[in-house]
Amino acid sequence: AQSVAQPEDQVNVAEGNPLTVKCTYSVSGNPYLFWYVQYPNRGLQFLLKYITGDNLVKGSYGFEAEFNKSQTSFHLKKPSALVSDSALYFCAVRAVMEYGNKLVFGAGTILRVKS
């Protein structure tokens, strides 16, 4: 069965520093991987996805993620963190159902960016 692990409950970063939010996955077959961000009292906003192709995927708001097949990881990165990046981040993997696809999410990582 497909699964996702986000090993850190919380990541603290100073504004202007690079940030990394970690994600590892377990799938059978080719992985389809996603990052979403959730702000308080709001739904999930799509950031980026990896389907195939380049291992470095660029997404919204300056975020990028690096797919590493050998380490089964898909870490989210940003070169320079902003205070406004503070939110809850979810990694997800596609799970194929008989008639469609669903997303299987990790438990989430709280990102706190301090000025």
**Interface with another protein by CB under 8 A: which residues?**
4, 32, 34, 36, 41-46, 49, 51, 90, 92, 94-95, 97-108
Q: Give the residue from 112, 114, 115 showing the smallest Cα distance to 40.
A: 112
Q: DSSP code of 71?
A: T
H/E element holding 99? none
> In whole angstroms, how close is the CB of 13 to another protein at the nearest point?
21
> In whole angstroms, how close is the CB of 88 to another protein at the nearest point?
9
In the complex with another protein, which residue's Cβ is closer, 53 or 115? 53
In the complex with another protein, which residue's Cβ is closer, 43 or 115? 43
In the complex with another protein, which residue's Cβ is closer, 16 or 42? 42
In the complex with another protein, which residue's Cβ is closer, 81 or 109? 109
What's the Cα-to-Cα distance from 67 to each of 11, 15, 45, 84, 99, rounded to whole Å? 20, 25, 20, 25, 27
In sequence order, what are the residues at sequence separation of 6 or more whose Cβ sits closer than 8 angstroms to the Cβ of residue 79?
18, 62
> In whole angstroms, how close is the CB of 31 to another protein at the nearest point?
11
